[in-house]
Amino acid sequence: IRGIGDALCGLGRFSEALARLNDATSVYQNLEIGDSVNCALAKQGSGTALRGLHRLSESLGKFEEAIEVYSNLGLCISVNCARAVYGSGRSLQALERNKEALQRYDDAIETFITLKLETSMSCAVVTGQKGSLLIGMGNVPSGVRALRRAIEIHELLGLGNSSHCSGDRQELEMVLNRTVSAEVGRTEKVVPR
């Protein structure tokens, strides 16, 4: 059931996905295995579906539940938990709780580094999202560094043409073009005629 829910989520069919993922969670709880990796993954999937439905507070709650399950299982330092932490960051960002979102992205990246996965696609995706958030918060230099790092990881993995990398590259180009235009504008105003 969970696999079908995840596939429906990937297709953007969030209402159907949520129903399947909630069914899977109920099955795990009825079997008294609510504290299992599979149950946590179902909750993560529900969080993603709820975010897709713009039910952001509920989405955040599902990611928090998944993180709690990983914690109960002693799996805080795991790829699955890092992805749940990243998902909670996405929900926080959508709720415009940017400082908290930034902390979640940093926590997820730190987990990938601890697991020696700092050059994984998952780490690249989180790093790119962090860069976008930093730019949105006005910290352009740090945001540019994060976007460049995300692009570097994607290229290292041979994924330079992936949608994530292309998005990061486009955002970086826009920011750099805006910065250059602003600097040229300032220079033109200062130069006497």
3-state secondary structure of 75: coil
pLDDT for the residue numbered 153: 97
pLDDT digits (tens, 9 = 90+) for 141-187: 999 999 999 999 999 999 999 999 999 999 999 999 887 666 655 54
* Average confidence score pLDDT of the chain: 92
Dist. CA 193–CA 191, nearest whole Å:
7
Structure tokens at 118: 């700092």
189 versus 21: which is more confidently predicted? 21
Decide if pLDDT at 188 tops 90: no
| Cβ proximity of 45 and 10 under 8 Å | no
Structure tokens at 111: 């987990």
pLDDT for the residue numbered 68: 96
pLDDT for the residue numbered 70: 96
Over residues 103-120, mean pLDDT: 97
pLDDT digits (tens, 9 = 90+) for 26-62: 999 888 876 899 999 999 999 999 999 999 999 999 9
